Structure 1
Amino acid sequence: MARSTSGDSLLTRVVRVLEVFGQAPAATVTEIAARADLPVATAHRLVGEMIGFGLLERDESRRVRMGVRLWEMSLRSHRVLGLREAARPFMEDLHSVVRQHVQISVRAGTEVLYIERLSSRGAVANIGSIAARLPIHACSPGLVLLAHAPDEVREAVLAGPLEPRTPRTPTDPVQLRRAVATVRRTGYAVAPASIDPGVKGLAVPLRDGTGAVVASLSVVIPMTQDHRPLVPAVMATGRGISRAMGAAVVDGEEVVHSTAPFPLNERTRRGV
């Protein structure tokens, strides 16, 4: 793979260009060069080639944006596509009850990445959106994913820094460790006003056929709303999605390995 005079491979430079769009939805080539730490001529050449492949595109003002083809390729990921297909019917049922936001997210390092969301007109404001990331310690799905993350990931997060997003964001490692332990004990996480003062998150784990937690289902409701009546419905929906991905439920609660995933047409019948 061709390398620059700085020693960076071509792939490394391409990734740095793509990462620019995590900071802003659009940028000029000069801005891309500065943020990706590339010579302007190199950035101009790379951007031109990436536009040719559909990975990037130019808008009416000639600013560069992420291309549709990149989004299409990401949707073909087996991890994302299979999860979204399994979850969607159950999310629709839960959404008809909650009438707020219903979301699916996965762990991406020490962040939460949202891959699906259903919302209602007039629903409470929601910082999370599809393809957006949030700190793992600051939101309800993050607490679920952290509770079931490998020990080294959990310890790295607890080692900090734990940046506050609101006055109620857990920033004390002892407090966060207790919160994670509570999630493992109860099977769900509640994050009141930890990411936005006006909202509350409620989340549960989603498991695949090996029994591993691979994602989190969450709802976002107004801070003033009592989340407790929603806990049974959210947990039942989480178990339904887990079944659809091959997990089995024992004694109505514990999710374990299943060698025979339920076929797609059984999702609704055996779900919520």
Structure 2
Amino acid sequence: MANSPSGDSAVDRVVRVLDTFTADRTVQTASEIGRRAGLPSSTAHRIVDGLVHSGLLERDDANRIRLGMRLWELALRGSHALRLRQAALPSMETVQARVREHTQLAVLEHDEALFLERLSHPDAGANITRIAGRLPLHASSSGLVLLAYAENEVRERVLARPLRALSADTVTDPDSLRRLLAGIRQRGHVVAPGSIETVSTGVAVPVRQNGAVIAALSVVLPRDAPTIDALTTLMAAARRVQKALNRSRD
């Protein structure tokens, strides 16, 4: 792939264009894409036109751009995330039916918690998580589990950065966070009251495959709600997901 004068490749520029889309920003103009991707207008329009032609992006009647169905189709072919979601979904439904609150599945992706699935009850409390959305590892209960079991290099890289407080209860001191992560590895779960929203408590457990933690399963409860039943239910669900993953490999 040819490089631009700035040194980035054509693939890099395409990724920058696609990265301008978020869970909250699903439709944009080509000019907005170029500005957010840091690309010259002519370059952005050329890349967008090519991606629209290939079906990876689509134009609506107002000439605005959104992600294309072909991109979704390609992403699902042989996707590890899809297999994990399929293995976890029946157990997540069991958790959600019992706890009757938000139930979520997240994986570690580029030093963030990426949420693959979320089930919610109509009467469930506050929750900012979205499917295909991301949250900081140090703030969300799922992220704390993923960070606790991540490779040491990942943990140190995250802890070396400024840690933003999402609420008054978010742990941002690196030494305190190290102690919290060590406790998660010792107990095999986390209860994180108010770490993202002061009115909520996140409860999360690891999901393993072949001994390695590959995901986190969590529920979001009202701040003062009991957590024991939710924790017991999550742990049983995580074991069922592990068995389902093992069966899918046979």
TM-score normalised to structure 1 length: 0.87
Tell me which residue corresponds to 2:171: 170
RMSD of aligned Cα (Å): 1.7
Q: Offset of 1:71 from its aligned partner?
A: 2.2
Residue 170 of structure 1: CA displacement?
0.5
Shift of 1:59: 2.8
Asked whether the 8 Å contact 1:145–1:205 carries over to 2, the reply is: yes
* Secondary structure of residue in 2 paired with 1:27: coil
Give the counterpart letter for 1:33 in structure 2. Answer: G
Task: Give the match for residue 136 of structure 1.
Answer: 137
Q: Does 1:16 align with 2:16?
A: yes
Unaligned runs of 5+ in 1: 247-260, 265-272
Report the equivalent of 1:82.
Answer: 83
1:173-184 equivalence runs, <5 A: 173-184=174-185
Question: Which residue of the partner structure matches residue 69 of structure 2?
Answer: 68
Partner of 2:159: 158
Corresponding residue SS for 1:31: helix
CA distance in 1 between partners of 2:184 and 2:81 (Å): 24
Residue type matched to 1:87 in 2? A
Q: Deviations over 1:105-133 (max 9, x none)?
A: 00012100000111111211211111000
Between 160-169 and 22-31, report the one with greater CA deviation.
22-31
The equivalent of 1:207 in structure 2 is 208
Structure 2 unaligned residues grouped into runs of 5+: none
Aligned residues: 249
Matched position secondary structure for 2:92: helix
Alpha-carbon distance in 2 for matches of 1:218, 1:98: 11
Match of 2:5 in 1: 5
Judge conservation of contact 1:207–1:245 (CA < 8 Å) in 2: no
TM-score, normalisation: structure 2: 0.94
Partners of 1:105 and 1:115 lie apart in 2 by: 6
What's the CA shift for 1:171?
Answer: 0.5
Matches within 5 A, 1:96-115: 96-115=97-116
What letter is aligned with 2:234?
V
Residue by residue, what CA displacement relative to the aligned partner does 1:61-86 show, whole Å, maximum 9, x if unpaired?
32212222222222234311111111
The corresponding residue for 1:267 is none
Matches within 5 A, 1:251-270: 261=247
Deviations 1:200-233 (A, max 9, x none): 111100111x211000111111112111222111
Distance 2:191 2:72 in 1: 31
Per-residue CA deviations over 1:3-54 (Å, capped at 9, x if unaligned) read 2233321111101101111373222111111121212111111101111222
SS of residue in 2 equivalent to 1:70? helix
Shift of the alpha carbon at 1:2?
2.2
Asked whether the 8 Å contact 1:105–1:141 carries over to 2, the reply is yes
Tell me the SS of whatever aligns to 2:2. coil
